[in-house]
Amino acid sequence: MKPTQSDPTVQPVPASVVATVDAADTTLSNPRWAVLALGANLGNRLETLQGAVDALGDTPGLRVKAVSPVYETAPWGVEPGTQPSYLNAVALVKTTLPPSSLLERAHAVEEAFHRVREERWGARTIDVDIITYADVVSEDPVLTLPHPRAHERAFVLAPWHDVDPAAQLPGLGAVADLLTALGSDGVTPRVDLELRLPE
């Protein structure tokens, strides 16, 4: 039986609810692209990287749109032979989260995989870095955008270029040119390993 206009259970939707829904829809229709770099050199590295990708995919307001091939690289900023090698990858995401919330989520993913921050450039189960967020340029010490050392890191530039050959690093130019200038010594493609997009 269809409700009639006099049915007391049928109430008009409050204007405040309509406004909230409209605002949310507007936000969702204007996501921003962000580039996240992932690295792991402790434990089951590939499993941890995949777990991080899946955890990002489970984040409300975030969709993982592409995941790069996997590279193996020597640890950066430490004496050779003092740490295990890293597996690195890059994820391209679309998100309605502001940069500060995206950073909080990145840290939450690290904590979920027991990331320990005892020393700079120390070994870690997982590292999730925000490389770029749209075209935002910020000197905020909590989250500097783009990542201040991305242009020096072939282990970021190589997988990023693979997944987005036309990528630009805001303020510094084409990723392809930066990678050519830097070279890719010590950054080895792991064609035997693969990350999948979240289902």
**Catalytic residue chosen out of the listed positions 45, 105, 124, 153:** 124
Query: Could you tell me the two tokens for 11?
Result: 């109430």
**Catalytic residue chosen out of the listed positions 45, 105, 127, 153:** 127
Half-sphere exposure (Cβ direction) of 90: Cα atoms closer than 13 Å? 25
**Catalytic residue chosen out of the listed positions 129, 140, 177, 192:** 129
Q: Is 115 a catalytic residue?
A: yes
Half-sphere exposure (Cβ direction) of 16: Cα atoms closer than 13 Å? 0
Q: Is 164 a catalytic residue?
A: no
- The count of residues in the chain is 199
Q: Is 127 a catalytic residue?
A: yes
Q: What are phi and psi of 95, to 5 degrees?
A: -145, 150
**Catalytic residue chosen out of the listed positions 22, 25, 45, 115:** 115
Query: Could you tell me the two tokens for 119?
Result: 């020393």
Strand runs labelled E in the chain: 32-40, 62-67, 71-73, 86-95, 127-133, 168-169, 173-174, 187-189
Q: Is 177 a catalytic residue?
A: no
| CB atoms closer than 10 angstroms to residue 69 | 17
List active site positions: 115, 124, 127, 129
